[in-house]
Chains A and B, each alone.
Chain A
Amino acid sequence: MRASRIGIALGVVMLMPLLHAEEITVSRYIDEDTDRIPMHTMVPIYPEVARRDRIEGQVQLCYHIDKKGRPYRIAVRKSTHRVFEKPAKHAIRASTYKPLKAGEKRSGIKTCRTFRFELTAVSAENGD
């Protein structure tokens, strides 16, 4: 059922990524029945040029995950703007999944992750 695949919206969390000096909102969606469980998820930086020029877009990356939970053979599957590809790839490289247990076999299926880069208007009086 498609509805069951929609998964859990983990909600909106506010965090201050070390690489970015400003507040950034991060939302996350994941299937309940995922093959590999994400452990450490790196949030990509919003490219300064894209933020400055008010560019939004999305990048879908597909990759394999090794036994230790490290992504490899990362490839861009879909991209609306090249400016987002580098930070998205960097974020995948720095992310990890739960390692496989001894004897546990990999499915061999590629995992894909989509990053959507959006800009939300905030009131000028409140600043950011």
Chain B
Amino acid sequence: MIAGPGGFARIAMNIARLVFLSALILIGSGVPVLADQSDEGIKTVLGPRNPRLADGAEALLDGDAEKGIRLTKLGLAVAQGRRERQAGLSNLCAGYVMLEQYETAIEYCDTALEENDNNWRALCNRALINIHLGDFTAAESDLVRGEALAPYARSLKVVRGMLLDATDPVQPNIIIDDRRDPDANDES
């Protein structure tokens, strides 16, 4: 089934919100660390371990995708460990979604998932991209996998709703019933 223009408008409207959520993974890379205090004169500094990755994610959260991508790439170049790398790749995927460069975005999501196929955020981002690209089967597959990993994740629920809107759209209908007997037959 093909989503109507209204459906895609809603999808586009939700993209920024979703990217916002996806970019939160950055917080994981911003774990405060304590510098070694064994040597005199070394100050203890609290802050993110990878400042560029953290700043990149902050820029994404602020809606500045280009700055976010640039900083995230710089942070990714000096990423320490699998966790930081995964966060960087996932955020790049989110950043390119914000720029509506879905082909590039999906490549970063794929890379993030190659490194860790349990990365539900990357699955969520990829599902979103697949919805936008009209591949609802792939989106469903990513969502099912993501929901198995994080059944209560809000961003997955949002994307699930977007997929439903694309495949099975609904229109809200509100009935205001002032009758004393509201259970009476509505077809009167």
Asked if A128 meets B157 with Cβ closer than 8 Å, knowing A6-B188, A54-B164, the reply is no
Query: How many angstroms between the C-alpha atoms of A60 and B180 in the bound complex?
Result: 11
**Which residues of chain A have C-beta atoms less than 8 A from B167's C-beta?**
124
Q: Give the residues from 1 to 39 in chain B that come closer than 8 angstroms, CB to CB, to chain A.
A: 1-7, 10, 13
For chain B, the bracket of interface size reads 35 or more
Which residues of chain A have a CB within 8 Å of any CB of chain B? 2-3, 5-7, 9, 20-31, 34, 38, 41, 43-44, 46, 51-54, 60, 111-128
Contacts of B157 in A (CB 8 A): 52-53
**A29: min CB distance to chain B, Å:** 5
How far, in Å, is B6 (CB) from chain A's closest CB?
A: 4
- Say which one of B43-51, B71-79, B113-121, B170-178 lies at the interface with A: B170-178
Q: Are the C-beta atoms of A29 and B186 separated by less than 8 Å?
A: yes
Neighbouring B residues of A120 by C-beta, 8 Å: 170-173
Q: Once the chains bind, are A27 and B175 in contact (CB under 8 Å)?
A: yes
A21 contacts across to B, CB distance below 8 A: 13
Q: What is the total of A-B residue contacts with beta carbons within 8 Å?
A: 144
Q: Is the CB of A121 within 8 A of B169?
A: yes
User: How far, in whole Å, are A123 and B95 apart by their CA atoms in the complex?
Assistant: 32
Q: How many angstroms from the CA of A24 to the CA of B171 in the assembled complex?
A: 6
In the complex, what residues of A have CB within 8 A of residue B182's CB?
29, 60, 112, 114
A-B interface, 5 closest residue pairs, ranked by CB to CB distance from nearest: A127-B4, A52-B161, A46-B172, A127-B6, A116-B175
Interface centre among B3, B5, B6, B174 (most CB of A within 10 A): B174
Please state if B7 and A124 are interface contacts (CB–CB under 8 Å): yes
B residues less than 8 Å from A119 (CB atoms): 170-173
- Contact A124–B168 (Cβ < 8 Å): yes
Report the separation of the CA atoms of residues A74 and B49 in the bound assembly, to the nearest whole angstrom. Answer: 53
- Taking the closest CB of chain A, its distance from the CB of B158, in whole angstroms, is 7
Contact A5 B181, CB 8 Å, known A22-B6, A28-B176, A124-B3: yes
Q: Which of A5, A41, A125 contacts B184 (CB 8 A)?
A: A5
Closest to A50 in B: B172
B168 adjacent to A121 (CB under 8 Å): yes
Please state if A52 and B158 are interface contacts (CB–CB under 8 Å): yes
23 A-B pairs (CB sep. < 8 Å): A2-B184, A6-B179, A7-B178, A7-B188, A9-B186, A22-B171, A24-B172, A27-B175, A29-B176, A29-B182, A29-B188, A46-B174, A52-B158, A53-B157, A53-B161, A115-B175, A116-B177, A117-B173, A120-B173, A122-B170, A123-B169, A124-B4, A124-B168
